[in-house]
Amino acid sequence: MTVQTMIMLVAKSFPMTLAIFVLTLLGSLPLGLLVYFGRASRFKPLSKIVRGYISIMRGTPLILQLMVVFYAPSLLLHINVPNNWRFAAVIIAFIINYAAYFCEIYRGGIESMPVGQYEAAAVLGYTKAQTFIRIILPQVIKRVLPSVTNEVITLVKDTSLASIIGTVEMFTRAKQIAVAPHSPGMLTFVVAAVFYYIFNYVMAFIMERIEKKLSYYR
Amino acid sequence: MSLLKATDIRKSFSGREVLRGLDLSVEEGEVVAVIGPSGSGKSTLLRCLTGLETPDSGTIEIKGTTGLVFQQFNLFPHWSVLRNLVDPQVVVQKKPREEAEKFAMSLLARMDLTEKADEYPYQLSGGQQQRVAIARAMAMSPNVLFFDEPTSALDPELTAEILKVIRKLAEENMTMVIVTHEMGFARGIADKVYFMEGGVWLAQGTPQQIMEESGNERIRSFMNLIEQKE
Amino acid sequence: MKKIIAIALAAVMILGLAACGSKPAAPAAAKQKLIVGFDAEFPPFGFIAEDGSYDGFDLAMAAKVCEKLGWDFEAVPIDWNSKDAELSAGNINCIWNGFTYTGRENDYTWSDPYVDNSIVMVVKADSGIKSFADLAGKTVMAQAGSSAIDGLAENAELSASLKKVIELADYNTGFMELKQGTVDAVAADLGVATYQIASNSGEYVILDEPVSTEQYAVGFLKGNTELRDAVNAALLELAADGTMLTVAQDYVDDGLVIESLCLIK
């Protein structure tokens, strides 16, 4: 196997890593906000359940959660899972895990908002929903952006955990190539590392641009 | 009938009664100053009158709408000065944007802030921010405007510019209720002064009656203390 | 109330996602399908080919069996540690990938063994280690969950003399550690060992004494004799008519030891 072939094979597995990454963010960023509403609910049973969920998501390894989501329907509930369940399970597990972390990040941001912002909005006659969407949320986004960037970068690296349920993303593919007959071996990992690094570099750059864009006020 | 009439307002926080049966009536065009030592319940009263708190008992009748100017300004930092004034009109009052902007610009002109319209709150001095806050409250065309110690967060030189603005509003017959520590100002501008301590009115009347003729020992010692500071 | 609605929405979102992932299952009367679970990091039995497809002696034989039976064939790369869960969940219907029969006789329904493989000890050629006695106090690597671990456990005398057995996820990292000296020996299947020696010429040697002897077979979910019988019959025919040998010759270059194929001895 030539080095070019090896690089091509690694590159071809990148879309899977990218898909896990993008779908996880698309799902967990908004879901995290909904989870926050549940956690902050004055309806105690709901708030308790959500707290339990967050505690489990943050207190157990993501790799274990992947296995539970993938196997529980067929092994515990005896449901016939569709043949693309493997990928769906990866996305669901990643989304519900990351939503728990994003919820806590949002919570930090929302609770750090001065109460005066709510009061000023209330006195002007904004409804609670208008206050949240127009006044609180935009400021919270700015406040939590650095923490969100951290999670985004972690997610790029976490995508490799999907291999536990047989999803062949970039890292798993690199491991396969490295042991394939007559492959360049170790060099495959160097190439994979370069791919991960460039991907993270691009993400960090994008996040920095967004932060800059939001730095028009203090 | 009065523009604002509050009767027997009571409010407790975790068992401690902060307001203990207060009456207050404000006529149209009247300027009322509320004074008293800190912790006496002045701010709580304002918060009840503007709906930020619900009194435990008592009735509040207000003909029309209210506005509130905070001690800490509470401008929306992510919006320009103009948007701080325009957005509530458009979103809450459903005014056409053009009309709202025109009104906002006229208010900014009155506050001497025309050239600050496109700046953000953090770019302004404290005094300018408080003037924007007053303009924002005015933008909703309130029937009565409340001020919660509007100069307490400001340096003395900035205090004067706010007092000037409030005085101007008084001349325009704006109905106002002002919680303040500025005794001289209260004396000069208020039609009526209420002195609060321990959640009740210790005294009420014209500024002269309160400041000079009151026989109450507590009020006299409070006045002396404040005047020494000034 | 709004918050309750918000949570309901969240739940719907999750279910919706799940629903998006589900397509109606294939009709039951469809062509029978052999879904082979394999480890793509286990050459020459299963590995990734230059064109990005999965290849290997076992996959090639599985394909021949399906061809003979007129079945559909699918190869699913699995995480080797998850093989039992994959089989129980029905994501795969057999494990065919250098799968050790010896010691697991009662855990699966098996085909006839087709590879006679031993667990051998690989050491650096210049290490001076010549026999098991020289391994006393040394560190040995074996793949986690593999038959090499079982083999070491069986060979109690040898295990007791070792300093430590390090279990790693795959043999590639094991041989990397052997190269850099963080382990002194690697206990591996004969096929794996032969392949590693061939691709690192002169660097490693196999000790004469085997750690244990073992056989490979195709594993089916325990009790699934119907599927086993069909596959096994086809496999025996392919061994008898020379197809197996022809297929095997394609994988010698990848480390397959023809002599270990016990069905065509």
Interface contact A186-C22, CB threshold 8 A: no
Structure-token pair, residue A90: 């990866």
Helix (H, G, I), strand (E, B) or coil at A22: helix
Residue A105 touches partner C, C-beta closer than 8 Å: no
- Pick the closest to residue B207 from B189, B224, B225, B181 (CA basis): B189
pLDDT bucket at C197, cuts 50 / 70 / 90? confident
| Cα A38 to Cα A107: distance, rounded to the nearest angstrom | 11
| Contact assignment for A34 to C9 by CB distance below 8 Å | yes
Contact C108, C221 (CB under 8 A): yes
Chains A and C share 3 or more Cβ pairs within 8 Å: yes
Nearest-by-CA chain A residue for B50: A123
Q: Distances in Å between the alpha carbon of A114 and those of A109, A140, B22, B132? A: 10, 11, 30, 19
Nearest to B50 among A123, A130, A218 (CB): A123
Above 90 in pLDDT, residue A114? yes
By C-alpha distance, which of B68, B43, B206, B49 is closest to B130?
B68
Contact A125 B50 (CB under 8 A): no
Q: Examine the pLDDT at B223 and tell me if it is beyond 80.
A: no
Distance from CA of A120 to the nearest CA of B (A): 6
Rounded average pLDDT over B14-43:
90
| Residue A4 C-alpha, separation from nearest chain B C-alpha, in angstroms | 50
Task: Assess whether pLDDT exceeds 70 at residue B145.
Answer: yes
Is the CB of C22 less than 8 angstroms away from the CB of A42?
A: no
Given the DSSP bridges, would you call strands B176-179 and B31-35 parallel, antiparallel or unpaired?
parallel
Residue B63 pLDDT exceeds 60: yes
Amino acid (1-letter code) at residue C46: G
Q: Can you tell me the mean pLDDT for A138-155?
A: 95
Coil, strand or helix: which one is C257? coil
Cα distance between residue C48 and residue C123, in whole Å: 27
**Which residue of A8, A41, A92 is in closest CB contact with C3?**
A41
Q: How far is A210 from chain B (nearest CA, A)?
A: 15
Find all residues with CB under 8 Å of A125, minimum gap 6, and list them: B65, B88, B92, B93, B140
Contact A42 C3 (CB under 8 A): yes
* List of chain C residues whose C-beta atoms are within 8 Å of the C-beta of residue A87: 21
Using a CB-CB distance cutoff of 8 angstroms, which residues of chain A are in contact with residue B52? 119, 122-123
Residue C21's alpha-carbon distances to A18, A77, A92, A110, B229, in angstroms, are 18, 18, 10, 34, 73
Which chain C residues contact residue A5 at CB under 8 A? 50
Q: Is the pLDDT of residue A84 over 70?
A: yes
Using an 8 Å CB-CB cutoff, list chain A residues near B121: 217
Nearest to A199 by CA among A169, A176, A165: A169
pLDDT of residue C21: 41
Say if CB A13 and CB A169 are below 8 A apart.
Answer: yes
pLDDT of residue B2: 86
Q: Is B118 on the interface with A (CB under 8 A)?
A: no
Choose the closest CB to A74 out of C3, C90, C170. Answer: C90
Element (H, E) at C37: strand C33-38
Average pLDDT over residues A44-69: 96
Query: If you average pLDDT over residues A66-89, what whole number do you get?
Result: 88
pLDDT confidence band for B228 (50 / 70 / 90) = low
Q: Is a pLDDT exceeding 50 seen at residue C226?
A: yes
The bridge status of strand C212-216 relative to strand C115-124 is: antiparallel
Count Cβ atoms below 10 Å from residue C20 Cβ, excluding itself: 11
Say whether B92 and A139 touch across the interface (CB within 8 A).
Answer: no
Token pair in block for residue B88: 């509530």
Judged on CB neighbours under 10 Å (0-12, 13-18, 19+), C188 is buried
Q: Do residues B180 and B157 touch, judged by C-beta distance below 8 A? A: no
Of the listed ranges A70-74, A81-85, B7-11, B127-131, the least confidently predicted one is: A81-85
- Helix axes B156-171 and B126-139, enclosed angle (nearest 10): 20
Distances (CA, A) of B49 to A112, B135, B205, B217: 27, 20, 20, 29
Query: What pLDDT digit, counting tens, does each position of C25-49 carry?
Result: 444 456 899 999 999 999 899 999 9
User: From CA A62, how far away is CA A91, in angstroms rounded?
Assistant: 12
The DSSP bridge partners found for residue B62 are B4
Q: How far is A2 from chain C (nearest CA, A)?
A: 9
Alpha carbon distance A21, B189 (integer Å): 64
Mean pLDDT over residues B202-211, rounded?
84
Residues B176-190 have a mean pLDDT of 87
Residue C255 has pLDDT above 60, yes or no: yes
* 3-class state of residue A37 by DSSP: helix
Instruction: With H, G, I as helix, E, B as strand and everything else as coil, classify residue C80.
Output: helix
Q: Is the peptide bond before C44 cis (omega within 30 degrees of 0)?
A: yes
Structural domains of chain C, ranges and CATH numbers in brackets: 31-114+217-264 (3.40.190.10), 118-214 (3.40.190.10)
Interface-testing mutation among C42, C50, C221, with chain A (most A C-beta atoms within 10 A): C50
DSSP state of B79: S
Residue with more model confidence, C185 or C189 = C185
In this predicted structure, the answer to whether residue C22 has a pLDDT above a threshold of 70 is no
Within 8 A of A91 by CB-CB distance, chain C residues are 17, 21
CA distance, residue B26 to nearest chain A CA (Å): 19
The ipTM (two decimal places) reads 0.92
The structure tokens 């929302």 sit at A110
Decide if C173 contacts C183 (C-beta within 8 A).
no
* Distance, CA of B132 to CA of B121 (rounded, Å): 9
Break chain B into its structural domains and give their ranges: 26-64+143-230, 77-141
B26-64+143-230 CATH pick, 3.40.50.2300, 3.40.50.300, 3.30.420.130, 1.10.150.130:
3.40.50.300
Question: Model pTM?
Answer: 0.81
Q: How many beta carbons lie within 10 A of that of residue C8, not counting itself?
A: 12
Tell me the Cα Rg of chain C.
22
> How close does chain A come to C28, measured CA to CA in Å?
12
Task: Determine, for residues A83 and C44 on separate chains, whether the beta-carbon distance falls below 8 Å.
Answer: no
pLDDT of residue B225: 66
Whether residue A124 and residue B78 make contact (CB cut-off 8 A), yes or no, is: no
Name the nearest CA neighbour of C81 among B27, A96, B68, A64: A64
Helix (H, G, I), strand (E, B) or coil at C115: strand
Is the pLDDT at C14 greater than 50, yes or no? no
Residues from chain B contacting residue A143 (CB–CB below 8 Å): none
Question: For the segment A182-216, what is each residue's pLDDT rounded down to a tens digit?
Answer: 888 889 999 999 999 999 999 999 999 999 999 99
B141–chain A Cβ distance below 8 A for any pair: no
A215 touches chain B (CB under 8 A): no
Inform me whether the pLDDT recorded for C258 exceeds 90.
no
Are B69 and B146 in contact by the 8 Å Cβ rule? The answer is yes
Residue pairs between chains A and C whose CB atoms are closer than 8 Å: 135
How far is the alpha carbon of A35 from chain C, nearest alpha carbon, in Å? 7
DSSP 3-state of C68: helix
For B8, phi and psi rounded to 5 degrees?
50, 50
Query: For residue C242, what are its two tokens?
Result: 């020379």
Q: Is the pLDDT of residue C227 over 80?
A: yes
Written out in words, the top-level CATH class of the domain with range A3-216 is mainly alpha
% of chain C beyond a pLDDT of 90: 55
pLDDT, chain B, mean? 90
B/e letters for A74-92, b = 16+ CB within 10 Å, e = fewer, are beeeeeebbbebbbbbbbb
One-character DSSP codes across B132-158: HHHHHHHHT--SEEEEESTTTTS-HHH
Tokens at B152, concatenated = 């307490």
Contact C114, A96 (CB under 8 A): no
At B226, the pLDDT band (50, 70, 90 cuts) reads low
SS3 content of chain A, % helix, strand, coil (to 5): 85, 0, 15
pLDDT of the residue at C64: 96
- Residue that wins the pLDDT comparison between B227 and A152: A152
Average pLDDT over chain C, rounded to whole? Answer: 85
